[in-house]
Amino acid sequence: MKSCLPVRAFLTLCLGALALAAAQPAAAQLQTPDRRVPSANDLRLSYAPVVKHVAPAVVNVYAARVVRNRNPFFDDPVFRRFFGVPDGAGGSQIQRALGSGVIVDPSGLIVTNVHVIEGADEIKVALPDKREFEATVVLKDQRTDLAVLRIKHDNDRFPFLELGNSDALEVGDVVLAVGNPFGVGQTVTHGIVSALARTDVGSSNYQFFIQTDAAINPGNSGGALVDLDGKLIGINNMILSRSGGSQGIGFAIPSNMVRVVVASAKSGGSAVRRPWLGATLQTVTPDIADSMSLKRPSGALISSIMRDGPAARAGLKVGDVIVSIDGQEVDDSNTFDYRFATKPLGGSAKLGVIRAGRDMVSNIALETAPDSPRDEITIQSRSPLSGAKVANLSPALADELQLKNIDQGVVILETDNGSYASNLGFQRGDVIEEVNGTHIAKTRDLESATKTPNRAWRIVIVRRGQKISAMFGG
């Protein structure tokens, strides 16, 4: 019986052979850093070659914001005098957030998550080579939870990652996650693509995620998910966990969605330009499939159509079920939203539709929603809406905020931390209809209606399709 070579000795021989082979090129070639993306054969013993290619482009993102802990009663001079509260009381504190980001352009464009830098007064990024820079926000896209930053610098060139094609991924592909978990410093983990097209698992409007078992932890948000070609195929976004740490269920935003956001940032836009359907959709459930005699519960059902929008001009009708787009299957409304949003503007797309049990094809134009001057203002006068940033609605803004069946009026974009509006529960997407009986059609109407001091306020808003009337003071 022949004896087997010990494993350690075998590995030593293999590594020795690799070292001997590496010593063969000419001396001049050895002096040139190898930035070649490694092949699969290179990675049989180590992921180090792809990590060396990727790591320089993954940065730490530090965001700081000042939070004012101010009780609204402190604004009342009688209250301050009676209780002996000095001017300026209430204080403030600095909150810091830590996340990751990926440089996607040599000029210093960085992609991260909106939730990493939300509300930040100051943003800094730290590169793996120990350099630190201030960064500014170029674009925030709440719908995808993606933000684009720009490094403040003097004509430097930065290492960057090329965007891969996330639609080419398959379940079982090996991937690496790179980020800064728990603030310990740049960390690399590996795993596989566990699932594709995961929907209904996140808080963004586009629910279409890559699932991976590569360890992702707090601080990894905004970091890179890369394939073995060293290309960025996802931005790490969230985890499902009972403990708060990685339990092997992590989710990344596909690179094809990242590409759309980056393209809008590069074009100088402050908002992402994407195709507009001009219709609202709902997922086909088993009950809907039975009632419509569909073969299986799959597709996106058109529940309403906007007049003169792309869907209306394409001849689509309420009750049509969209089952494919340009030959790609549509399982539910989230799948359609993602596929449609990642189509390039201009030209058209072919929608596979089922109408009254019959298959048909409809060509729909890939165009943006019409916009108009938003006239954004922040309410400064003392009222329940003080600190609310508002804008005039348009089809484009309604689509951005995912408001259904309403594209006129005044909508809240955000509320300042610690403001009356924030403390009283007003939210992004609330449409303000009335203030003390005055109809609000434009932002200037709201500004005028809130200037007059009142002891009691009656404000009517529309939130997620429901009308709410609230009383304050009195």
CATH code for the domain of 344? 2.30.42.10
- Split into its structural domains, the chain has a count of 4
Long-range contact set of residues 330-333: C-beta below 8 Å, sequence gap at least 24: 330/298, 330/299, 330/300, 331/197, 331/199, 331/298, 331/299, 332/199, 332/283, 332/284, 332/298, 332/299, 332/300, 333/281, 333/282, 333/283, 333/300, 333/301
- The predicted pLDDT at position 24 comes to 45
Question: 190 and 144 share a domain?
Answer: no
Question: 319 and 391 share a domain?
Answer: no
- The predicted pLDDT at position 6 comes to 42
Question: 417 and 444 share a domain?
Answer: yes
Task: With cut-offs at 50, 70 and 90, classify the pLDDT of residue 92.
Answer: low
Question: 393 and 468 share a domain?
Answer: yes
Range 237-248 average pLDDT: 70
Q: What distance in Å separates the CA atoms of residue 245 and residue 271, rounded to the nearest whole number?
A: 33
Instruction: List the CATH number of the domain containing 183.
Output: 2.40.10.10
Question: 182 and 260 share a domain?
Answer: yes
- The predicted pLDDT at position 31 comes to 42
Question: 387 and 352 share a domain?
Answer: no
Query: Is residue 307 a part of any domain in this protein?
Result: yes
Residues carrying an active site annotation: 115, 145, 221
Are residues 343 and 361 in contact, defined by beta-carbon separation less than 8 angstroms? no
Query: Is residue 13 a part of any domain in this protein?
Result: no
Bigger pLDDT: 87 vs 64: 64
Range 94-122 average pLDDT: 90
Q: Give me the domain span that covers residue 75.
A: 56-151
Single out the residue in 310, 345, 365 at which a domain terminates. 365
Question: 146 and 67 share a domain?
Answer: yes
Convert the pLDDT of each residue in 134-166 to its tens digit. Answer: 999 999 998 889 999 999 988 889 999 999 999
Query: Is residue 326 a part of any domain in this protein?
Result: yes
Average per-residue pLDDT for the chain: 84
Query: Is residue 121 a part of any domain in this protein?
Result: yes
Bigger pLDDT: 31 vs 274: 274
Query: Is residue 109 a part of any domain in this protein?
Result: yes
Question: 354 and 408 share a domain?
Answer: no
Query: Is residue 125 a part of any domain in this protein?
Result: yes
Question: 384 and 354 share a domain?
Answer: no
> Which pTM value belongs to this model?
0.74
Single out the residue in 126, 151, 176 at which a domain terminates. 151
Convert the pLDDT of each residue in 351-368 to its tens digit. Answer: 999 999 999 999 999 999
Total residue count of the chain as it appears in this document: 474
What percentage of the chain reaches a pLDDT higher than 70?
81
- The predicted pLDDT at position 142 comes to 86
Q: Which helix (H) or strand (E) holds 124?
A: strand 122-126
Query: Is residue 43 a part of any domain in this protein?
Result: no
Question: 342 and 418 share a domain?
Answer: no
Query: Is residue 161 a part of any domain in this protein?
Result: no
Single out the residue in 266, 292, 309 at which a domain terminates. 266
Q: What are phi and psi of 360, to 5 degrees?
A: -150, 165
Question: 116 and 170 share a domain?
Answer: no
Question: 249 and 293 share a domain?
Answer: no
